Amino acid sequence: MPQQRPKISHASRALTYTVQASNEHGEQVATEIAGEGPLTLYLDKREIVTLMTLGAAPEALALGYLRNQRLVGSIEEIAEVQVDWETEAVAVTTRHGVTHDEKRLGKRTVTSGCGQGTMFGDLMEEIERIHLPEDAILTVATLQALLENVRHHDTLYKKAGALHGCALAQGAEILYYVEDVGRHNAVDAIAGMMWLDGISGSDKIFYTTGRLTSEMVIKAAQVGVPFLVSRSGLTRMGWEIAQKVGVTMIGRAQGRHYLIFTGEQRLQRTSMPAEVAHP
Amino acid sequence: MPQQRPKISHASRALTYTVQASNEHGEQVATEIAGEGPLTLYLDKREIVTLMTLGAAPEALALGYLRNQRLVGSIEEIAEVQVDWETEAVAVTTRHGVTHDEKRLGKRTVTSGCGQGTMFGDLMEEIERIHLPEDAILTVATLQALLENVRHHDTLYKKAGALHGCALAQGAEILYYVEDVGRHNAVDAIAGMMWLDGISGSDKIFYTTGRLTSEMVIKAAQVGVPFLVSRSGLTRMGWEIAQKVGVTMIGRAQGRHYLIFTGEQRLQRTSMPAEVAHP
């Protein structure tokens, strides 16, 4: 736990809504859909960004965004996080005021959208900051148990679709599971929760339903997690960055199937399956 | 066709790559993955944005981005679009120079990421600009034939995963099909192709594999297409915007199943199914 935990609101809002639709037979079907709304982030009264979010974990999302964008250096600097859905705003107040890095804020001008820019300007710098533990080990049995736990996890996605989920796990145990309309929001919220609870990533596993693009790999590595597991596929740049930062990247993980793309030395296979050992 | 078509490069690059992975049995598996790389857009030598893209249609992507962000008013203003993968840049040159709207460029500072901001600052303004034809009609038979054509379309997704596809169709015929690592890039590229070829959206159907979030609905409506069909689900804000702009929104369209969420009056059902008419 951080020495000084910020005062935070707990302002989750309605996450799903029921709307009427017609199916292919012309029948009325009540259908659940995911919430989505704007949330404007203010840091010491300065407007930083407007996030389109489900709104399940707005305080953690704001903190994780500030953490991953390197706009605030430590959780101890933050005095308060207040979400107000009336004004669709989250106000983050620091203890001593932050020196706004105009160059860093300015860089974001040339970055926007889904796969449209983002943090590329700082990419090489980010990669060099990241140091992942070499000696972390994941056994195949733990990985399979985790995938089974993820499969049975009660998610909004199963009800409403149109959401991505991210989880942080210790062994097969899911510590956090966050869903949002954007993959990046979900990973940012996990980063915020880890910050709030003073949790290190070095012995954890990061799971995502989303694709492993460049930005997802960097964001998972930024919080120091050596294992990255996705239900989906990956891109070449995600793969290249995973190699550079030395993350163990496992993709297309569904049911009992998965593919290990990088960092295979951290995966421990049992020397002989039980059914072979005892025929 | 526009009266003056810009001079453009045709600089698509390698779209998939084969990497070695290990499966759950420890076997080596050659696996195809999607390309992803940065492409920095310059408008009259001013740096605008860095897009992370597959690179299948970089010229159309650049044009569509400028169109959808309202940074250039018409295709006739554009003299040249040159992509150079060596420098990972696309240079767009206008005929007479554009007056950079600093306020509009400035607004993008507070907008970034996947579901993280984007064009929200201009949202209401965009909605009011959009006028979709009330009298456009889509028959159920045409919709079903289009979904069948989409299903059989040869895609990189089937080989490499981790991609979203967008298509523009006239009736059941697919005019363009663009895949990219980001949903927004794919829809921007379609907008660029329509601009280049002088194609109106008023009698077309827009199809996407991606979720119908606020930004997707706006981008499809911006190019004047009255029908929006997605294989995936939708968010509440996507639904609200679809109602406001009057688009016919069809979601969860897979196989012969689909749900009509808004604008059902444009969908023409056959008065009586054949098997009932001729028992």
Q: How confident is the model at residue A113 (pLDDT cuts 50, 70, 90)?
A: very low
Beta-carbon count within 10 A of A261 CB:
27
Using CA atoms, how far apart are residues A48 and B230, in angstroms rounded to an integer? 32
pLDDT at B52: 86
- In the predicted model, is pLDDT for residue B56 greater than 90? yes
Nearest to B247 by CA among B269, B219, B225, B215: B225
Q: Which of B17, B47, B51 sits opposite A116 (nearest CB)?
A: B51
pLDDT at B101: 59
Strand pairing category for A16-23 and B257-262:
antiparallel
Nearest to A77 by CA among A102, A96, A105: A96
Using CA atoms, how far apart are residues A187 and A219, in angstroms rounded to an integer? 7
pLDDT at A81: 97
Report CB contact under 8 Å: B34, A233.
Answer: yes
Using CA atoms, how far apart are residues A175 and A193, in angstroms rounded to an integer? 10
Contact residues, chain B, for A53 at CB < 8 Å: 115
Q: What confidence tens digit (pLDDT) does each residue in A133-183 have?
A: 999 999 999 999 999 999 999 998 888 888 889 999 999 999 999 999 888
Report CB contact under 8 Å: B36, A232.
Answer: no
pLDDT at A82: 97
- Tell me, yes or no, if B45 comes closer than 8 A to chain A by beta carbon: no
Compute the mean pLDDT over every residue in chain A, rounded to the nearest whole number.
86
Nearest to B250 by CA among B240, B242, B241, B261: B261
Helices A236-245 and A214-222: crossing angle in degrees, nearest 10, is 30
Q: Which of A22, A180, A258 sits opposite B260 (nearest CB)?
A: A22
Backbone angles phi, psi at B86, to 5 degrees: -60, -45
- In the predicted model, is pLDDT for residue A115 greater than 70? no
Report CB contact under 8 Å: B261, A110.
Answer: no
Q: What confidence tens digit (pLDDT) does each residue in A188-226 have?
A: 999 999 999 999 999 999 999 998 988 889 989 999 999
Q: Which amino acid is at A33?
A: I
Using CA atoms, how far apart are residues B165 and B187, in angstroms rounded to an integer? 8
